C-alpha cells in the first residue's frame, strides 16, 4: 500500500464541487463544502477574514464536544464560507474525534492534509489510524515519517 492510498478520500466526492490538489505524495481530493461562488471567488483569505474565522473557531472550541451540535454548526458554516482554510477542517477533526465519530474525523483530517500536507498532520493521521486499530494504514504513514526523518541532513554545530 502506498502513502497516497492512505491519504486519499475513499469513495465518491461528497459534493458536486471538488478539486484535485497536487501534493508531494500524489493528487489529493478536496471536497468543496460550500457554494460554487465561495469556491471560485476565494483564491486567498484576507487578514480580516482570518480574524473573523478565528473568532468563530474560538466560539466553536468553547462549545466543544459538550455542545457538539453547536460547535459542528459553526465549523461546517465556516467550511462552507472558507473552503480553503485548513484550520476549519482541523477543528472539525478534533470535534469529531472527541465525540467518537471516526468516519467524520478521518474525512476532515484528510481535507486538512489535502490543503497543507505536513509531517505533523501525517503523524496525527497515523496516531488516529492506530487508535482505531487500522494498523496496516498506520504502518504506511509511520514508515513514510521515519524515512522522511532519515533524509533530513544533520546540521553541524
pTM above 0.85, yes or no: yes
b (16+ CB within 10 A) / e for 39-60? beebeeeeeeeeeebeebbeeb
- Which single residue is written with the C-alpha cell 465556516? 78
The confidence score (pLDDT) of residue 9 equals 95
d(CA 138, CA 147): 14
Quick: pLDDT tens for 42-69. Answer: 767 889 989 999 999 999 999 999 999 9
The domains of the chain are located at 3-150
Mean pLDDT of 21-32: 94
Q: Fold for 3-150, please state it.
A: 1.25.40
Amino acid at each position: 500500500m502506498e502513502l497516497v492510498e492512505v491519504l486519499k478520500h475513499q469513495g465518491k466526492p461528497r459534493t458536486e464541487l471538488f478539486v484535485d490538489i497536487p501534493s508531494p505524495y500524489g493528487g489529493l481530493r478536496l471536497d468543496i463544502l460550500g457554494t460554487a461562488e465561495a469556491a471560485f471567488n476565494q483564491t486567498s483569505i484576507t487578514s480580516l477574514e482570518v480574524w473573523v474565522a478565528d473568532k468563530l473557531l474560538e466560539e466553536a472550541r468553547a462549545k466543544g464536544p459538550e455542545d457538539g451540535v453547536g460547535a459542528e454548526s459553526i465549523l461546517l458554516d465556516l467550511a462552507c464560507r472558507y473552503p480553503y482554510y485548513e484550520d476549519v477542517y482541523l477543528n472539525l477533526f478534533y470535534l469529531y474525534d472527541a465525540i467518537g465519530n471516526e468516519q467524520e474525523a478521518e474525512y476532515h483530517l484528510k481535507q486538512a492534509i489535502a490543503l497543507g500536507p505536513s509531517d505533523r498532520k501525517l503523524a496525527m493521521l497515523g496516531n488516529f489510524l492506530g487508535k482505531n486499530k487500522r494498523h496496516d494504514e498506520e504502518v504506511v504513514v509511520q514508515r513514510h515519517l521515519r524515512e522522511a526523518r532519515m533524509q533530513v541532513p544533520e546540521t553541524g554545530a
